[in-house]
Amino acid sequence: VKAIHDIIIGSHALDSLNQMLGTERKETCFIITDHGVAKSCLDYFLYKVAEARDAVIIEIPSGDENKNTTNLIRIWHKLLEHSNNTKPLILNLGGGMVSDIGGFAAGTFNRGVDYYNIPTTLLAMVDASIGGKTAINIENVKNKAGVFALPAGVFIDSYFLKTLNQQHYLSGLAEAFKTLIVGDEVEWKWLQSEFMPGLENLDPLIEKAAKIKQRIVSLDFFDKNVRKSLNFGHTMGHALESIYFSKNQSLTHGEAVAAGMIMELYLSHQVSGLHLDTFIKICSFLNKYFKPIEIEEADIGNMISVSKKDKKNFRGSRFLSLLQSPGKPDVNALCSEDQILEAIKFYRDLYRDDDDE
């Protein structure tokens, strides 16, 4: 499978989409979106993309918990009701939640119809809207049903980010950093020396992350080897997310992944030969952007058992996606339970006040 789709980035992206719809569209057009996005982004979108003004709008409630079977079925029904036996064309306008459920609907309706992603969160711009992994949750089990279905194109206009809150901004930032660190040594150097935070400077970061993700996906669409490198930071990040979730405490995906990356950098140093200097440099870089996450002594055991259930594990052994050096992932790194424990302790010690001793 040659998993390449167009990615158009910049203030002209929506003009290109408009032009494309004007010349190519013969089908019924649908916009799938959520309430929050409809409120913040739909007016601007329709102002820029006049060709979509007669689209049927399918709006679902916001939030990951709504990436569920109920809303998937609602979308399928709307597609059936309004497509009048023509081929529907779907525009997913929103964050990763919308591109996941909208992509799934598009990938399964009529056994697959064309769809385009127009991401409105930083996370979706650098990650979720690219590469054709789609999914819904089943009874709160994340991403339990899904299909691989490539979008026909992704149109990225960072103007949408003006209304995004800080929490979601940081989530996207963590994933973008991860992709640059895992994907390309030169881009890691760029991050250290040239990247400036702030909305007005995000386009180069988005472009670099989107292109790297596209390249990795094109090498391994079905996630059998190198695509797993994009899971760097996620085994320990998910373990942290799950203890916070079980205690009803809030922690964003990005904060969890950033902390997960630090723990997995420690493991990379132990297991995959990541040089001590680089290990320290990447940790300090991440520490500039993400605040320390508290891990209580009593939660360590739970984190270890969650890490045991990670999807990358095989026959009872733990395999993590680590780093040999920036741009050189180590996708099936075998780690022992003791090493995982040490990595958690390393992270806790980094942030423990001396007074706690």
Ligand X SMILES: NC(=O)c1ccc[n+]([C@@H]2O[C@H](COP(=O)([O-])OP(=O)(O)OC[C@H]3O[C@@H](n4cnc5c(N)ncnc54)[C@H](O)[C@@H]3O)[C@@H](O)[C@H]2O)c1
Residue among 286, 271, 255 nearest 329 (CA):
271
To the nearest whole angstrom, how small is the minimum distance from the Cβ of residue 68 to ligand X? 11
Cβ nearer to ligand X, comparing 160 with 188: 160
Cβ nearer to ligand X, comparing 93 with 340: 93
Cβ nearer to ligand X, comparing 139 with 353: 139
H-type alpha helices, the chain:
13-24, 35-48, 69-83, 96-108, 122-123, 166-183, 185-193, 202-219, 234-246, 253-271, 276-289, 300-308, 337-351
Residue type, 53: R
To the nearest whole angstrom, how small is the minimum distance from the Cβ of residue 331 to ligand X? 17
Residue 303 has, within 13 A of its CA and on its CB side, a CA count of 30
Q: Are 143 and 100 in contact (CB under 8 A)?
A: yes
Q: What is the Cα–Cα distance from 219 to 318, expressed in whole angstroms?
A: 24
Q: What is the Cα–Cα distance from 102 to 120, expressed in whole angstroms?
A: 14
To the nearest whole angstrom, how small is the minimum distance from the Cβ of residue 99 to ligand X? 7
To the nearest whole angstrom, how small is the minimum distance from the Cβ of residue 252 to ligand X? 8
To the nearest whole angstrom, how small is the minimum distance from the Cβ of residue 164 to ligand X? 4
Cβ nearer to ligand X, comparing 73 with 199: 199
Cβ nearer to ligand X, comparing 231 with 270: 231
CA angle (354, 356, 357) in 5-degree steps: 75
Q: Are 36 and 183 in contact (CB under 8 A)?
A: no
Cβ nearer to ligand X, comparing 200 with 353: 200
Cβ nearer to ligand X, comparing 3 with 283: 3
Q: Are 176 and 122 in contact (CB under 8 A)?
A: yes
Which residues touch 97 (CB under 8 Å, ≥6 apart)? 34, 62, 63, 64, 66, 67
CA angle (67, 72, 77) in 5-degree steps: 155
To the nearest whole angstrom, how small is the minimum distance from the Cβ of residue 315 to ligand X? 26
Cβ nearer to ligand X, comparing 153 with 278: 153
Phi-psi region of 273 (alpha: psi -120 to 50; beta: other; left: phi over 0): left
Q: Are 331 and 219 in contact (CB under 8 A)?
A: no
To the nearest whole angstrom, how small is the minimum distance from the Cβ of residue 163 to ligand X? 4
Q: What is the Cα–Cα distance from 290 to 170, expressed in whole angstroms?
A: 8
Cβ nearer to ligand X, comparing 20 with 101: 101
Binding residues vs ligand X (CB under 6 A): 34, 36-37, 40-41, 62-64, 67, 94-98, 100, 120-121, 123-124, 127-128, 131, 133, 143, 160-161, 163-164, 168, 171
Which residues touch 274 (CB under 8 Å, ≥6 apart)? 265, 268, 322, 323, 324, 325
To the nearest whole angstrom, how small is the minimum distance from the Cβ of residue 29 to ligand X? 21
Q: What is the Cα–Cα distance from 31 to 44, expressed in whole angstroms?
A: 14
To the nearest whole angstrom, how small is the minimum distance from the Cβ of residue 339 to ligand X? 26
